[in-house]
A and B are shown apart, each in its own frame.
Chain A
Amino acid sequence: MPPLFRTLVFLATLSAATLAHASTLADFDFSGNVSEAHFKEIISELRCLVCQNESLAASQAELAQDLREEVYTMMDAGKTDDEIVEFLVARYGDFVLYDPPLKPSTWLLWFGPFVLAALALFVMGFAVRKRTRGQDGDLTSAQREKVAALLGDETKNRES
């Protein structure tokens, strides 16, 4: 199937599921075992599969409501956060996690920025050191004057 068509068919499929019915968080009862804040925290870090890029907390899709109920039931039964996450990952894969897991295939993601920072610091230190030993300026005074004239700069000596 050509990719465009594939995408269109996909959208058609998914929209049907999205429009079917909408529901809210208001239906949950937080007077029991389940803390509202903790519940919201968990579902806001889980991604809705049907939607474009929305969390389970924000999504209006029916599947999202089903999964919210599932999470609620598990929390009510005293399952730990890890168990809940494991349950979802076993069924839908790492895709459901907004917070990607740390494993060899995500090392680039988690450590990349710090490696880059270390590298940048090193290069920067090197560049600065070179400059602290260099000659003062690459412009001769004649060139400076020309630049000043070019810019119509009457305040060239004012360095702030």
Chain B
Amino acid sequence: MTPELGQFALILALCLAVIQSTLPLIGTYTGERHWMSLGSTAAWGQFTFLSIGLCCLIYAFLDNDFSVAYVASNSNTLLPTMYKISAVWGAHEGSLLLWVFMQGAWGVAVAAFSGKLPETVRARVLSVMGMVGVGFLLFMLLTSNPFERLYPAPLEGRDLNPLLQDPGLAIHPPMLYMGYVGFSVAFSFALAALLGGKLDAAWARWSRPWTTVAWVCLTIGITLGSWWAYNELGWGGWWFWDPVENASFIPWLVGTALVHSLAVTEKRGAFKSWTVLLAITAFSMSLLGTFLVRSGVLTSVHAFATDPGRGIFILTFLCIVIGGSLIIYAWRAPTVTGGGRFDFVSRETLLLANNVLLVIVAALILLGTLFPLIYDAFELGKISVGFPWFNKMFISFMPLLILVMGIGPNTRWKRQDPAELARRLRLAFIVSVTLGVVFALPLLPGASPLAGLGIGLAAWLVTTLTTSVVDRLRHKRGLAAIWRDVTVQGRSYYGMVLAHLGMASAVVGVTLVSLHGVEKDVRMSPGESLEMAGYTFVLEGVEKHQGPNYRADRGKVRILRDDEEIALLMPEKRTYTVQTKPMTEAAIDIRPTRDLYVSLGEPVGGGDWSVRVYYKPFVRWIWFGGILMALGGLLAVSDRRYRLSVRSRRTIDATVTPAAQEASG
């Protein structure tokens, strides 16, 4: 009964989405205020029914209702409760439901927090969001219904893919989807602005917090994904340039460009049509990622079960959403004019350079991801584009981007005296070049040109940020004045500082772990020991262990340094009862500056085991960087500007509504 209820709820949600996508929009043309205000109501209704749908599916999982095909293929009575819940989004159908649910949640958020928006703008935004919702709900109901029944119902389910039975993966997809779907808000604002012909600083300010929140979610999602791969795949890799990883990284890069471009549009009124294009592109790339992951056009380690029928549906949907919005763009954007004048050396130029670089990097990753497909489509055969290519390209462009990242925050809007800029950044430049050279010359153990480059760039970020902060505070006399200055800078400034520091941290992590990581594959008998990177690893023994839904061989590895025990790790080799898939569960000893990573391979006869041991210097800095970026984003969103506008909306309402209507109607 519950599955039918869930399905019914989804159908009702679809009906409401149809209403949400049409009536308010029509209302903006006919001037019918009741129709316009239907947007919020429909968004709330849609969200309510989507919640009911999601709850029904969760219930089906908790209830072990194997008459539901999706539950039967992704759950099992022995599956721990936590994973029963995360199994809801463990495969295609359920993850799609989660996706639409989040879409609904963002819709409600817009309805709830956009009271300050002119009615027409809000109606248009909600309409566009409704349209996206209609697309995804149709996709789910027509090709991938999570509530489809199985008859006769099996007694036992086929269990969740063991790879996905990890706490990191329980939260990674929701965060990722929050990000993907979150970009639909920026997209909707952009389209609403194009439709209304009103692309201005106000539009940029309204979109900014939404975009930043979506970007924060995507940042966390990607960070968690990388962390999960590191923990769970058993070979210590944190990024492989797999198509699925790229599918999340491309929207992130475009989103990052968008966050910066919105700042220019808001503050200076410049780059409007570029910002709109980025808003459309960021969401388009999220959709494209979905297509790549779910249609089976590319092979990936983590692809969903694929089906070309679904592929055709999403492709059609992509053509309507992306193609349609780009045509609207081509039609309406040329009417957008102006923006403030600025000098060649100015923050505007630097932010534009940042944007261009980010988009180039996104485009080249897209090219690398799609190239095997292009090659095949032109009947040139099969080709692989893997990490060596991506690394080379990434290293070609990232240094430039980081260089610009350092200068930008130290530059004034409109006009910057180049000589003064050079004077101000001189110290930062000297410090970072010195550090870079020190790490590049073979004076230190393990120094290399690439290490020098990485460390130099990270130092450049840190020193220039310091310069910027110090500069902002030192013009004032007296502690009180400085303190007032600290507070007056606003949280969005400190958010920027934090996020850029996150980048520095990630650069350090990536550089050091790539260059100085050590790994060893060895055959070990119990009692045997191994020396690596100054540590001694002793395999004490391997014993059997019984988990809730798996059997495991659990190794005991004692780690010593200078004859002193520092950790006892217990890596496991698991065999899950139902899927009989061997899984490597690595054990990791974590310190801020290094990880010791041990994974158990195979029994190789005579009681011996193959063991993989990794020394990963500074690997945590990569994810710590991701966290800093996310925190920076959150800090920026909490800036006074955005809160003020909410608080004072009532007093302004009276003056605003007629103006806005005159402007957009």
Contacts and interface: CB of A to CB of B under 8 A. Distances in A.
A–B contact, 8 Å CB criterion (strictly below): yes
Interface of A: 3-4, 7, 22-27, 36, 40, 45, 47, 51-55, 57-58, 60, 93-100, 105-106, 108-109, 112-114, 116-117, 120-121, 124, 127-129, 131-139, 146-147, 149-155, 158-160
A127 B348 CA distance: 11
Contact of B386 (A51, A99, A149): A99
B427 to A, nearest CB: 22
A150 B656 contact: yes
Contacts of B601: 24, 26
A99 B389 contact: yes
Interface stretch (B27-35, B374-382, B447-455): B374-382
Contacts of B641: 153, 155
Contact of A150 (B301, B363, B652): B652
B349 interface: yes
A157 to B, nearest CB: 12
28 contacts: A45-B388, A47-B384, A52-B303, A53-B301, A55-B386, A94-B382, A105-B375, A106-B371, A112-B367, A113-B367, A113-B396, A116-B364, A127-B352, A128-B344, A129-B344, A131-B339, A133-B341, A137-B339, A137-B341, A138-B269, A138-B340, A149-B659, A151-B201, A151-B645, A152-B116, A152-B651, A154-B644, A159-B413
A128 B352 contact: yes
Given A53-B300, A94-B382, A109 B523 contact: no
A31 to B, nearest CB: 12
Nearest to A113: B364
B383 A138 contact: no
Nearest to A110: B389
- Among A22, A27, A128, A159, max chain B CB count under 10 A is at A128
Contacts of B342: 131-132
B360 interface: yes
A150 B651 CA distance: 10
Contact of A52 (B205, B299, B307, B309): B299
A138 B273 CA distance: 14
B584 to A, nearest CB: 9
Contact of A26 (B307, B522, B644): B522
B386 A47 contact: yes
Contacts of B202: 147, 150-151
B611 interface: yes
A153 B644 contact: yes
Interface in B363-417: 363-364, 367-368, 371, 374-375, 380-389, 393, 396-397, 413
B267 A159 contact: yes
A24 B652 contact: no
A22 B580 CA distance: 14
B487 interface: no
A133 B201 CA distance: 21
Contact of A124 (B233, B353, B604): B353
Contacts of B338: 134-135, 137-139
A98 B387 contact: yes
A3 B306 CA distance: 11
Contacts of A25: 521, 610, 612
Given A150-B652, A155-B641, A24 B385 contact: no
A77 to B, nearest CB: 22
A120 B337 CA distance: 21
Given A53-B242, A53-B243, A139-B269, A152 B384 contact: no
B382 A95 contact: yes
Contact of B388 (A53, A98, A149, A160): A98
Interface string B290-319: 000000100111010011110000000000
Interface stretch (B125-133, B173-181, B488-496, B539-547): B488-496
Contact of A136 (B240, B301, B341): B341
A97 B299 CA distance: 15
B301 A54 contact: yes
A160 B233 CA distance: 45
Given A124-B352, A150-B659, A45 B386 contact: yes
B604 A152 contact: no
Nearest to A143: B200
Nearest to B649: A152
Contacts of B240: 53
Contacts of B269: 137-139
Listed from nearest, the 3 A-B pairs whose CB atoms lie closest are A138-B338, A98-B386, A99-B388
Given A7-B306, A153-B645, A154-B648, 7 more contacts: A4-B309, A24-B612, A40-B519, A53-B299, A95-B381, A98-B384, A159-B413
A106 B381 CA distance: 12
A152 B300 contact: no
Contact of B385 (A109, A129, A131): A109
Interface in B537-574: none
A113 B363 contact: yes
A109 B348 contact: no
Given A113-B363, A131-B339, A131-B342, A93 B356 contact: no
Given A131-B339, A132-B343, A137-B269, A113 B360 contact: yes
A27 B309 CA distance: 45
B589 interface: no
A124 B356 contact: yes
B235 interface: yes
B372 to A, nearest CB: 9
- Kindly name the residue among A36, A94, A127, A160 whose own CB sees the greatest number of chain B CB atoms within 10 A: A160
B383 A136 contact: no
A40 B490 CA distance: 50
A65 B337 CA distance: 62
| A105, A109, A137: residue with the most chain B Cβ atoms closer than 10 Å | A109
A94 B384 contact: yes
A150 B388 contact: no
B552 to A, nearest CB: 16
B186 interface: no
B384 A160 contact: no
B389 A158 contact: no
A153 B375 CA distance: 53
Contacts of B413: 159
Interface in B237-282: 237, 240, 242-243, 267, 269-270
Contacts of B339: 131, 134, 137-138
Nearest to B522: A26
B55 interface: no
Interface in B585-617: 601-602, 604, 610-612
A147 B200 contact: yes
